[in-house]
């Protein structure tokens, strides 16, 4: 049964703060950075107004923010933080620690270009720089999806078969600062009690023949130590466990998405990918973040002209849904992959490389080309995508010579 909800005008940051309010984490430790600042501002207001009992820790850096979350989560608490760009880079070493200690921390990232030159606007370079840190990564299209996904993220992270931290990404300014209609649950207990089942319950593990809580709980019959030295005789085994957890996350993302949909009435594809007019498509575009919204207008326009073009939006980026990509794009002739991130010394943007690698498994493969676009907040109007989509049509007809990658929207 769909639960009662109310409409509010919220931007992506506010939607994140509302999700955190409804989850009521035990600890929020955060340091403000544009374009994520509003999350921390709003949430601290919720704390000050007594709407949540969360321990709000104002730290002196993002490195400390993530460290505080590690401590809180290791103690068995539900921990949340938010950051962007250089803040995320400063956290980097602790990100790996959080994932290896299997701490289900949730972090919102308002995607922003990484300095330098200094730029506060949207691109995905910040998130792409931490794509190998062992975090589950979800990319949202709009503020409504941000609210829904932040709530889902806690349930994904805390699943005993996953126990990995989760990043919820959304485009800086384009989503973080754009207010829109967002439906939020009227009663926070729908989120806290009904969906999340009350306070976090740390997983149980066997230790020296006894069942203990995987947390620094002093009531454990056998003490649990987090973060000791782990050398060549065991480190690899622990990493292998993380790989399995990441693999498990794929199904859990789908299950949690479905379970949440029953409460909210909202779905984003199957929770992993969101296809649009792909079934009979000859040309497909692949993208993440807010750009797919704009792209759908262009696709509709081209469909009206009789061009068979469709879109595959990836909502889940880690674990990378390579099987979905193979399955959903196996029938198309040309695939254009749109990376809102730099391709420094690589064959193309990260999304392109992995999409192309996934399609290599197919017996008969489509042509796959890459567009790097929108760096540092460069505007992404429909006309710009139209130009690229027309080029993809040209490749499918043989009138345009295929290429590896292009930079879309840069001045020559």
Partner 1 sequence: MPKKDFVEIRIHGRGGQGAWTASIILAEAALVEGKYSQSFPEFGPERSGAPVTAYARIGPSRIDIHAGITNPDYVIVIDPTLVHMATKGIKENGKIIATSAKSVEELRNELKLSDGIELWVVDGVKIAMETIGRAIANTAMLGAFVKATDGKIISLDSLIQATKNVLGPRLSEEAVNKNIEAIKRAYEEVKKG
Partner 2 sequence: MSEKKPGWKEIPIAGVPFKSSLEYKTGDWRVLKPVIDDDKCIKCLLCNIYCPEMSMLVKWDETGNKPLGVYVDYDYCKGCGICADICPVKAIEMVKEER
Contact positions vs partner 2 (CB under 8 A) = 100-103, 163, 205-208, 214, 222, 224-228, 230, 233-238, 240-241, 245
Rounded CA-CA distance 37/209 in Å is 47
Q: Which residues between 107 and 136 bind partner 1 (CB under 8 A)?
A: 120-121
Rounded CA-CA distance 131/89 in Å is 12
Whose Cβ is closer to partner 1: residue 99's or residue 290's? 290
Smallest distance, Å, CB 83 to partner 1? 18
Rounded CA-CA distance 167/372 in Å is 23
Whose Cβ is closer to partner 1: residue 145's or residue 391's? 145
Show the site string, 23-62: x = touches partner 1 by CB under 8 A, - = not.
Answer: -----------x----------------------------
Show the site string, 174-193: x = touches partner 1 by CB under 8 A, - = not.
Answer: xx-xxxxx------------
Residue indicated by tokens 């991130």: 341
Tokens of 17: 């703060």
Pairing verdict, β 367-373 and 79-83: unpaired
195 secondary structure, DSSP code: I
Whose Cβ is closer to partner 1: residue 27's or residue 311's? 311
Rounded CA-CA distance 222/318 in Å is 34
Rounded CA-CA distance 260/190 in Å is 10
Smallest distance, Å, CB 372 to partner 1? 17
Rounded CA-CA distance 5/110 in Å is 25
Whose Cβ is closer to partner 1: residue 188's or residue 376's? 376
Confirm if 256 and 153 have CB atoms less than 8 A apart.
no
118 secondary structure, DSSP code: -
Count the site residues for partner 1 by CB under 8 A.
30
Rounded CA-CA distance 202/159 in Å is 10
Smallest distance, Å, CB 305 to partner 1? 15
Stretch near partner 1 under the rule CB under 8 A, chosen from 8-16, 125-133, 248-256, 267-275: 8-16
275 near partner 1, rule: CB under 8 A: no
Binding positions for partner 1, rule: CB under 8 A = 7-9, 11, 34, 120-121, 141-142, 171, 173-175, 177-181, 290-291, 293-294, 296-297, 300, 377, 379-382
């Amino acid at each position: 049964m769909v639960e009662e909800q109310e409409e509010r005008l919220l931007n992506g940051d506010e939607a994140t703060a509302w999700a955190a309010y409804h989850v009521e984490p035990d600890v929020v430790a955060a340091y403000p950075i544009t374009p994520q600042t509003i999350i921390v501002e709003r949430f601290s207001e919720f704390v000050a107004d007594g709407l949540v009992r969360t321990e709000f820790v104002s730290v002196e850096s993002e490195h400390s923010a993530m460290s505080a979350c590690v401590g809180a989560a290791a103690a068995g608490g539900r921990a949340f933080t938010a950051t962007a760009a250089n803040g995320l880079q400063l956290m980097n070493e602790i990100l790996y620690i959080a994932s290896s200690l299997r701490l289900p921390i949730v972090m919102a990232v308002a995607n922003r270009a990484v300095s330098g030159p200094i730029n506060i606007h949207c691109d995905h370079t910040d998130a792409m720089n931490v794509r190998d840190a062992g975090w589950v990564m979800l990319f949202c299209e709009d503020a409504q999806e941000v609210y829904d996904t932040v709530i889902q993220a806690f349930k994904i992270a805390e699943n005993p078969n996953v126990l990995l931290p989760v990043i919820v990404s959304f485009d800086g300014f384009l989503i973080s600062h754009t207010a829109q209609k967002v439906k939020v649950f009227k009663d926070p207990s729908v989120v806290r009690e009904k969906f999340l089942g009350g306070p976090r319950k740390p997983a149980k593990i066997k230790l020296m023949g006894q069942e203990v809580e995987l947390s620094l709980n002093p009531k454990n019959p056998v003490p649990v130590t987090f973060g000791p030295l782990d050398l060549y005789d065991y480190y690899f085994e622990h990493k292998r466990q993380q790989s399995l957890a990441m693999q498990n996350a794929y199904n859990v993302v789908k299950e949690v998405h479905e379970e949440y949909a029953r409460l909210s009435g909202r779905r984003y594809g199957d929770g992993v990918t969101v296809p649009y007019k792909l079934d009979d498509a000859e040309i497909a575009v692949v993208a993440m973040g807010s750009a797919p919204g704009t792209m759908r207008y262009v696709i509709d326009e081209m469909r009206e002209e009789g061009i068979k073009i469709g879109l595959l939006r990836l909502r889940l980026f880690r674990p990378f849904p390579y099987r979905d990509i193979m399955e959903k794009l196996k029938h198309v002739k040309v695939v254009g992959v749109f990376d809102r991130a730099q391709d420094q010394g690589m064959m193309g943007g990260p999304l392109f490389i992995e999409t192309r690698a996934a399609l290599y498994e197919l017996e008969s493969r489509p042509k796959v080309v890459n567009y790097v676009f929108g760096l540092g907040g460069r505007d992404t109007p429909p006309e710009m995508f139209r130009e690229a989509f027309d080029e993809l049509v040209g490749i499918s007809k043989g009138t345009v010579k295929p290429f590896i990658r292009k930079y879309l929207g840069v001045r020559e």
